[in-house]
Amino acid sequence: MKDIHSYWAYLVLAILIFTVVNAIIGLKQKKEFADRDLRLGLFTLILSHIQLLIGLGWYFMSPWFKALKENGGEVMGDKAARLLAVEHPIMMILAIVLITIGWSKHKKKTEDAAKFKTFAIFYGLALLLILSRIPWSNWF
């Protein structure tokens, strides 16, 4: 489960970066919000939600969850353990909430620039949260 979560994360990160860059380019160049842009945002939403489900499955099987339940104070005192047991899961959930809000808000917009801007803001903030709490030492 951990391996699936790790490999799927590369896919989510790549598509999220691509979606944010596409939204910024679309906004700056005043492009028409096409079906391709819609599908890209939806694909990012779906992949991130699948990652959330995989991550939650792994989290509740992980040694960090067990350690947090048994000795939360010790986990909170250890920076590396706290990252894996608390900070990473919370920030990833918040990032996916932002992606979901961005998807929902863009549907209510009628102007192309507003749709691109919504994706750029919400998906971009999600990207920043994800990048801030990826356990980089475990990734490479």
CB 118 within 8 A of CB 107: no
From CA 116, how far away is CA 80, in angstroms rounded? 37
What distance in Å separates the CA atoms of residue 54 and residue 43, rounded to the nearest whole number?
16
State the Cα–Cα distance between residues 8 and 14, nearest whole angstrom: 10
pLDDT over 70 at 140, yes or no: no
Whether 128 shows a pLDDT value over 90: the answer reads yes
Task: Look at residue 112 in the predicted model and tell me its pLDDT.
Answer: 95
Q: Please tell me which residue, 94 or 136, carries the higher pLDDT value.
A: 94
* Model pLDDT for residues 72-119, shown as the tens digit of each residue: 898 899 888 889 889 999 999 999 999 999 999 999 999 999 999 999
Domain span at residue 128 reads 2-139
- pLDDT per position as a tens digit, 25-47: 999 999 999 999 999 999 999 99
Amino acid 2: pLDDT? 81
**Count of structural domains within the chain:** 1
How far is Cα 35 from Cα 86, in angstroms, rounded to an integer? Answer: 38
